[in-house]
Amino acid sequence: MSNIAVFPGSFDPITKGHVNIIERALPLFDKIIIAIGKNSNKKYMYDSDKRKEWIINSFKGNNKIEVDEYDGLTVDYCKKVNANFILRGLRTSADFEFERAIAHTNHKLNPKVDTVFILSSEEYSSISSSIVREVASHGGDVSMLIGRGVDLS
């Protein structure tokens, strides 16, 4: 059986922090599906086509990575794509508390799916999409926060 992980998120936009987690998780899995969750209650700064394009650009040529969009429950999406793991990154203890509740709930909803956490590298642990959006919206330079594949202009 191959090990497939879903890395769910908003990726509004994808940052160096996300890329680092995905690159470090690659040796663990046969495939990682980066899945952009569509949440109708959430307001996004960048439209989903752009967010998807930036993720594709960030991993060009890597045949272990797929990029997709989904709505509904993450565990239902995992079932649909035969994924047995959810991948998430942890920056802080606040991330941990938040992620712990979601991981427990997801495991109850589908015991066949386990969540794997990778601790953020120190240099990326203060990066968040919301900080990128804030700086970018005021015309600041975000090049140290986002990867080569992302062009916010």
| Residue ranges in contact with ligand ADP by CB under 6 A | 9-11, 15, 17-18, 21, 88-89, 91, 95, 120, 124-125, 127-129
For residues 152 and 69, give the distance between their C-alpha atoms in angstroms, rounded to a whole number: 20
* Residue 91 annotated in active site: yes
Which one of the listed residues 2, 40, 42, 43 is annotated catalytic?
42
User: Which H or E run includes 89?
Assistant: strand 85-90
Q: How far is the CB of 43 from ligand ADP (least distance, A)?
A: 12
Which one of the listed residues 10, 16, 18, 58 is annotated catalytic?
18
Cβ proximity of 17 and 124 under 8 Å: yes
Q: How far is the CB of 96 from ligand ADP (least distance, A)?
A: 9
Which residue's CB is nearer to ligand ADP, number 1 or number 93? 93
Closest residue by Cα to residue 85 from 128, 29, 133, 144? 29
Closest residue by Cα to residue 127 from 92, 87, 99? 92
For residues 111 and 134, give the distance between their C-alpha atoms in angstroms, rounded to a whole number: 38
* Residue 143 annotated in active site: no
For residues 134 and 8, give the distance between their C-alpha atoms in angstroms, rounded to a whole number: 22
Which residue's CB is nearer to ligand ADP, number 4 or number 34? 34
Q: How far is the CB of 27 from ligand ADP (least distance, A)?
A: 17
Which one of the listed residues 79, 91, 107, 133 is annotated catalytic?
91
Residues known to be catalytic: 18, 42, 91, 129
